[in-house]
Structure 1
Amino acid sequence: MTTAAPLTPLRALGVLVARNVVVYRRAWKLFLTGFLEPVFYLLSIGVGVGALVDVLEVNGREVPYAEFVAPALLAVSAFNGALLDSTYSVYFRLRYERLYEQMLATPLTTADIARSEIVWSQLRGGTYSAMFLVVMAALGLTGSWTAMLALPAALLIGFSFSAVCMALTTYMRSWQDFDKITLLQLPLFLFSGTFFPVTAYDGVLRWAVEATPLYRGVVLCRELVTGEVGWGSAVSVVYLLLMGLAGAVVVRRRLDALLVT
C-alpha cells in the first residue's frame, strides 16, 4: 500500500484557498456588505461631517477632513474583513464542522491549515480594501502617488489581524466567548484615530492609543495616501509584521496541541 506524499506548502495553500473560493462563491453578498460599510462611513462622516470641519493636520500638512478619514477607513476595512474570517469561520470549522481534523487525514499538515486560513482572511480583507481604494480614487481622496502602496499596507494589516485573531480563536470554548472579540473590536475602532487625530488625547491615554495595532495601521495608510511618509511609517510596518508573525507561530502550535497531540 502506498502512502500519499505531503503536498508542497505552495500547492497546499492553493488547494485550501481554492476550497474557500468554492464555498464562498454563492455567498458573494457577504463581500458586498463588508465593502459597503466603510463606504457608508466615508459618505456620512467623512463627507457629511467633513462639511463642518475645515482641515486637519497630518505630519505638518493640512488635509481636508474627508481625505483624513478615508485612508483610516481603508485600514479599518482590512481589519474587519480579516477579523470576520479568522474568528467566527475558523471557530465553526474547528469546533463544530471538525473540518481541520478531516484535512489532517490527507497529506495536509497543521502548518498548511494555518497558512491557508490566514491567507484567505487576508485576501478577504484585501478585497474590501481594493474596492474601497477605487472609491477613494473616484472621489479624489488619493492625494499622492504613494497611495498605490496603501493596498499592500492593507494586506499587511489583514495579515497581522488574521493571524492574531485566529490564534485567539483557538482558545475559545463556546460562542459566548465571541463577546470578548466584540469587546476588543469596538474600542480598537473607536480609539484608532480614524475620525480625529491622536493629539486630542494627552499623557498615558495618548500613548496607549498609539500602541494599539489598528492605530498603527490607520496611521500607515494615512501617511501613504497623503504622501507624508516618514520613519513612523517604517515603525508601523515592523510593528504589524512582527505581530502577524507572532500570531502565525501561535496558531501553528495551538493547532498541533488541539488536533495532533
Structure 2
Amino acid sequence: MTVDLPIAVQLQELAVDIAREAGALARERRAAGVALAATKTTLADIVTEADREVEALIRSRLDAERPGDGFLGEESEAAQSSTGITWVVDPIDGTVNYAYGIPSYNVSIAAVQGEVDEALAAAVYAPALDELFTAARGGGAWLGDQRLAVTAENPAGALLATGFGYDPATHDGDLATVRRVMPLARDLRRMGAAALDLAYVAAGRLDGYFERGLAPWDFAAGGLLVREAGGVVSRVDTASDRPMIIAAGPALHERLSEVLHKEI
C-alpha cells in the first residue's frame, strides 16, 4: 500500500504528543499509588484504575483531534472508523510491572490503515525511563533524534526476548517454545511489556522477539518500529486463539521462523 508520507508524519506527531501526555499521567498516578480496578483473563491479569484513566485521556484527545477515526483499545469498547484510520492503543503496556513499580511499562499508540499489521504511525513512550520511540511508515524508526536499526549479525548467538501468557495452562507450551529457540540464543530476556520488547528490537538492544497470544494493541505500534528499523515482523498460526509473533532482523527472523514453524 502506498502511503502519503506527510499524512503518516502528521499522525506520528499526534501520536507522540498524546503518548507524552498519557505517559505523564501514568507516571503521576504511579507515584500516588496503584489502585487495582479488576482482573481480566485470570487473577494474574490485572487492570489498574490508571489503565482506564489513561485510555480515557487518549481517547478524548483523539476524538477531539481526529473525529471519525476508529478506536481499538485494551480497556474500552471499540469504535468503527469512517475515515479509514483506526487508532490501536494500549494505555499501559506492562501493567504488572507498573503495579509493582518496575519501570518497564509504556504507552503504546498506533494509527492503522487497513489490517492491524499495517500501521502508518506509532509512538511507544516509556515514561519512567523517559524514552520515546516513534515511526512513520516510510520515514524510519527513531528514539529521539537517533535513527534506529535492527542488528544484522549475531556471531555469539542472539539476545532474544519473549513473554508468557497469564493462563497457567499455557505455560508448559511457552516453556517448550523457549527450549526450541535456545540453540539460537546467546541469552533470553523476559521484560513483561511487548511494545517495549519490539521497540528494543528496533533499537538493536535485542536481536529478536517471539511470543504467543498478543492482542493487536500489544504489537501494532512496536511492529511498525521494527519494520521501519529494517526488521521483519510476522504472525503465524493466526487461526489459533494464540498466534505467534516473530520480530527480528531478516536473517535471524528466517532462522527463528524455521524453528518456530516446526511446532505448529
TM-score normalised according to structure 1 size: 0.35
Higher helix share: 1
- Report which structure shows greater RCO (CA 8 Å, sep ≥6): 1
Q: Tell me which structure has the larger Cα radius of gyration.
A: 1
Select the structure that is richer in strand.
Answer: 2
TM-score, length of structure 2 as denominator length:
0.34
